[in-house]
Structure 1
Amino acid sequence: MRAVARVLVLAGPSGVGKSRLAAHSGLPVLRLDDFYRSGEDPDLPRIGHGANARLVDWDDPRSWHLDEAVDAICRLAATGRTVAPIYDIARNGPSGSHEVALDGARVFVAEGIFAQEVVSACRDRDVLAAALCLRQHPLVTFWRRLTRDLREHRKPPLVLLRRGWALKRAQRRVVAHAVSCGCEALSVAEAGARIRQLVAAGRSTVGRRGTL
């Protein structure tokens, strides 16, 4: 079946601005972070050492349902709609589901902390429009992430501070991993321009492999 739309995969470190850029793009958005495992899942990975030892490692891709995320992307690309979970961070688990519909859009965004992990599968299934990884200075990302997480009461403040500092140190490695998965590393402004190009192309061309 030929895809009715293709996916723009939007990756990048936590707090870099993926959700904001996706919301401002005007495109339908599939939130990949909603595919996190429940906090009661016995298969969740744990931090092995350091101040947060034995806590769940929510930054490990094993804390997330990769296959379910890929299936949702492919269903949305093939049919124009899919049902996705709604993840409640405060409850550490899903709190229902919702329908994502394209309403005729030729491009949609799939964004999340593990978005780079879906790139290969999306390319193999011929639904990939582009894969971008947002980058910015690690200190800027650290501050934006911390203020967001504190405002939303995602975890206890000390846990957020320790996690945020660890993520700051790992940020360049996260971007490098996304690039190795097939993403192009761009600033937020550069990514915004690329998205506008894809939207414009999607109005006139559908069905060529790897692009719209």
Structure 2
Amino acid sequence: VKAPFDGVIDRVPVELGSSVMQGGEVATILSLDPVIARGEVSERDLGYLKIGDKANVRLVSGQNVEGTVRYISRDASTATRTFRVEIAIPNPEGTIPAGMTAEIALSAQPTDAVILPRSVVTLGDKGDLGIRAVDKDDKVVFFPIDLVDDTPTGLVLGGIRADARIIVAGQELVKEGEVVKPVEADRATIQKLLGEATAGTQ
């Protein structure tokens, strides 16, 4: 009997001298190199991952190992709306057994982002979610946003220029292209907005 792959014999359900029907099971062989860690990622995080990304895996034993993303599902679970990912972990000595509980930490590509209170997010003229800001000519402009994360202190948003002067109050009262007289928010106003963002998550 020849197995189609290298592995470790885990279970032998027959004994020496037993009769085995054609196609019957004679042994269970585990392929443990690589060993595969499976997990789920949210809809929000899916776009930041790609095949070949590195991942850190912490085993229930406390051991930390590094693996590589080998599979990302494109079909969300109907129950959780999450997507399955698989991490291939080198295991040449077979020291990591199959079925062990683990925590997976995935490292996405870095992106420029800012933390802003939820109250500054608004809808643009075309219905896009974003923020309004003022350009160098004091004209109102709109930036569509990319939601990176939702934290207790506010939203982590991408897609906003580093030098943008963001409208934090009255953004619903102006339109894109309108010339305004902006007043720089003082520290007390900013702290108040951040405090409201924190309170909204409790």
Same fold (TM over 0.5): no
Higher relative contact order (CA 8 A, sep 6+): 1
Q: TM-score, normalised by structure 2?
A: 0.21
Question: Quick check: which one's helix share is greater?
Answer: 1
Whose Rg is larger?
2
